[in-house]
Amino acid sequence: MRWAVLLMVVFSALLFSSEVVLTSVGATDISFNGFPVTMELNFWNVKSYEGETWLKFDGEKVEFYADLYNIVLQNPDSWVHGYPEIYYGYKPWAGHNSGVEFLPVKVKDLPDFYVTLDYSIWYENNLPINLAMETWITRSPDQTSVSSGDAEIMVWFYNNVLMPGGQKVDEFTTTVEINGVKQETKWDVYFAPWGWDYLAFRLTTPMKEGKVKINVKDFVQKAAEVVKKHSTRIDNFEELYFCVWEIGTEFGDPNTTAAKFGWTFRDFSVEVVK
């Protein structure tokens, strides 16, 4: 009888455990605070490494940890090693939707789209790193890569050493809720005409931790102005598709061969107001 009870307890623990762990490059779908999200251990520019890393969801929060050394890059000239992340919607590079029905959506039809994130990050040895959110704006809703005529829009809440690519072309002020208080925030705006049009908003007072709530549409509307002024390859921005909202940490530079860092996302939610 005691063994039967013990087996039932073990079975129940396995049945109701919501912990999901990735220990190598890969992705899996989870339900984070009731929202369909994909978490991805994404070292897109790393050819090989030694050490330990994991990305874990315990039912309440998502945590990332890395202690890497002897890192060898796919592209040694790149300033970014990878982007361990979560995403909500359709990620073109993965050809995968986390389970969000209304995404992708044409930019002209994008509703007020509020994203809340409670985060903290840490790192050692002055590691080049950011805490960045982003979307891909594409010509069709089911692309599996991006190229000329598409756009990337990044929103950087924190950066150390690592800076956005391209050139600073503008400044932007918008209201963001920070730790429950609405505040006017200032952002530097960067643009680069690479294989696709790259835009980045960098918060001028970087936040290593905090709970933030933004209306993504504010940044998309400002990006439309920047594209109109600086892009030579996009003339129908409003007709393109807003695909996804990604959140993670880019890290590394061409000289980074070791990286010890991590982050915790304690809360994530989305509010769509049509």
213-249 pLDDT, tens digit per residue, is: 999 999 999 999 999 999 999 999 999 999 999 999 9
Amino acid 274: pLDDT: 85
Calculate the average pLDDT of the chain: 93
Beta strands in the chain (DSSP E): 20-22, 26-32, 35-41, 46-57, 62-73, 85-91, 96-97, 105-106, 112-123, 129-138, 151-160, 167-178, 181-193, 197-203, 209-215, 241-242, 244-248, 259-273
Q: Is residue 3 part of a domain?
A: no
pLDDT at position 144 over 50:
yes
pLDDT at position 153 over 90:
yes
Provide the CB-side half-sphere exposure for 144 (13 A, CA).
3
Q: Is residue 141 part of a domain?
A: yes
Q: How would residue 18 be classed by pLDDT, with cut points 50, 70 and 90?
A: confident
pLDDT at position 11 over 70:
no
User: pLDDT digit string (tens) for 92-117?
Assistant: 999 999 999 999 999 999 999 999 99
Task: Name the residue range of residue 32's domain.
Answer: 20-273
Q: How would residue 17 be classed by pLDDT, with cut points 50, 70 and 90?
A: very low
Based on the structure, what is the number of domains in the chain? 1
State the CATH number of the domain containing residue 173: 2.60.120.180
pTM for this entry:
0.93
Phi, psi of 195 (to 5 degrees): -60, -25
